[in-house]
């Protein structure tokens, strides 16, 4: 069986550079269905292994994404040395401990200096790292580090507020608990007023998380 390609209608080409081993995933899902007492051959489950393989091709696309291709020359020489904030950037990831969903907002801010980036590219950078098996702390740092390394701004700030289904549906079952992590570079780390301006802006009028 051939590897499944990513669905181009669901992804920008810049994020669709990888493949998954669909045959192995389908075998594993069939084994899981048998292990929990289900019948993989019944009507509702016959194509479930195939559907899961296609889903994983989408959810794990970040492993093969090329950050340079994602940015795609969308960095422009513009003199603008004030704060730029992209709010309400939602992310969806899977925790590496239980392979359950993590999701929530990931606002990003930067002091651009002499370069600005196309607006859509910040969410795409978030997707590069969200579409992998993750822990939230690492993902937050990876997003901030990549923005810093690609743009060389005066400062970068990233805040991630995640709802973790592994804590909501199992274990302690705390449905309203959420985890907030942040990563700051440059002016956002060194200057308290800059950090405070960023945090106040991303908190002002933000929509509440819905479960």
From the list 5, 24, 90, 96, the catalytic residue is 96
From the list 97, 137, 175, 196, the catalytic residue is 97
From the list 23, 38, 58, 98, the catalytic residue is 98
From the list 23, 58, 166, 197, the catalytic residue is 166
Instruction: Based on the residue annotation, tell me whether 154 is a catalytic residue of this protein.
Output: no
Phi and psi at 155, nearest 5°, equal -165, 155
Instruction: Based on the residue annotation, tell me whether 136 is a catalytic residue of this protein.
Output: yes
The Cα 24–Cα 87 span in angstroms is 38
Instruction: Based on the residue annotation, tell me whether 3 is a catalytic residue of this protein.
Output: no
The Cα 193–Cα 11 span in angstroms is 38
Give the number of residues written for the chain.
211
Instruction: Based on the residue annotation, tell me whether 98 is a catalytic residue of this protein.
Output: yes
The Cα 57–Cα 8 span in angstroms is 11
From the list 136, 142, 161, 185, the catalytic residue is 136
Instruction: Based on the residue annotation, tell me whether 164 is a catalytic residue of this protein.
Output: yes
Q: What is the DSSP string of the chain?
A: -PPBPP-TTTS-GGG----B-HHHHHHHHHHHHHHTT--TTSGGGTTHHHHHHHHHHHHTGGGT--HHHHHTT-EEEEEEEEEEEE---EEEEEETTT--EEEEE--EEEEEEEEEE-TTHHHHHHHHHHSSEE-HHHHHHHHHHHHHHHH--SEEEEEEEEEEHHHHSSTT--TT--EEEEEEEEHHHH-HHHHHHHHHHHHTTPPPP--
From the list 95, 108, 134, 185, the catalytic residue is 95
Catalytic sites, residue numbers? 95-98, 136, 164, 166
């Amino acid at each position: 069986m051939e590897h499944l390609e990513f669905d181009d209608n669901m992804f920008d080409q810049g994020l669709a550079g990888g493949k998954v081993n669909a045959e192995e995933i389908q075998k594993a899902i069939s084994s899981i269905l048998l292990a929990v007492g289900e019948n993989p051959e019944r009507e509702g489950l016959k194509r479930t292994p195939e559907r899961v393989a296609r889903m994983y091709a989408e959810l794990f696309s970040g492993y093969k994404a090329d950050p340079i291709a994602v940015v795609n020359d969308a960095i422009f020489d513009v003199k603008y040395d004030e704060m730029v904030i992209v709010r309400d950037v939602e992310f969806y990831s899977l925790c590496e401990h239980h392979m359950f969903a993590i999701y929530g907002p990931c606002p990003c801010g930067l002091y651009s200096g002499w370069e600005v980036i196309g607006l859509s590219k910040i969410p795409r950078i978030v997707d590069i790292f969200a579409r992998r098996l993750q822990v939230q702390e690492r993902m937050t740092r990876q997003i901030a580090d990549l923005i810093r390394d690609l743009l060389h701004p005066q400062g970068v700030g990233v805040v991630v507020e995640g709802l973790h289904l592994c804590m909501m549906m199992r274990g302690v079952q705390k449905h309203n608990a959420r985890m907030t992590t942040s990563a700051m570079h440059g002016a956002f780390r060194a200057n308290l007023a800059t950090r405070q301006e960023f945090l106040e802006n991303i908190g002002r009028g933000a929509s509440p998380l819905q479960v």
